[in-house]
Amino acid sequence: MSPPAMAAALPEPGVIEAEFARLGTEQVLRKTWELTSPWTTTEIKVPVKFIVGDLDLTYHSPGIQDFIHKGGFKKFVPLLDDVVVMKDVGHFIND
């Protein structure tokens, strides 16, 4: 799909936000889990360098650091080449 076609497929600004507000956080999260469930146990089979900011809230979720650094992550990403934790960086590392 070409970039113009992809852009045309996006909803108008505010549509997603309005749907989120209508459904509420819990239903949106439930729907996200439902839609992504077929890939729950799928391995990522390309070489990967995982980069995360040390201020990212998800990096500080219970058990996540052990999962990432002690082999759990590698089970789902067998070609994990490296894990880089960027100092003083949050979720959006390009900001």
Cα angle at 59 between 57 and 61, to 5 degrees?
75
- Domain assignment present for residue 68? The answer is yes
| Residues spanned by the domain of 11 | 3-39
**Sorting pLDDT into bands at 50, 70 and 90, what band is 16?**
confident
User: What distance in Å separates the CA atoms of residue 56 and residue 85, rounded to the nearest whole number?
Assistant: 10
What's at 92, amino acid-wise?
F
> What's the predicted TM-score (pTM) here?
0.61
Q: Has residue 1 got a pLDDT over 70?
A: no
Domain-located, residue 92? no
Q: Are residues 30 and 52 in the same domain?
A: no
Does 81 fall in a domain?
yes
Over residues 18-76, the pLDDT tens digits come to 887 888 888 888 888 898 898 888 888 999 999 999 999 999 999 999 999 999 999 99
Q: What is the DSSP letter of 24?
A: -
Considering the domain architecture, whether residues 14 and 33 belong to the same structural domain is answered as yes
Does residue 90 carry a pLDDT above 80? yes
Same domain, 57 and 76: yes
Pair 35, 65 in one domain: no
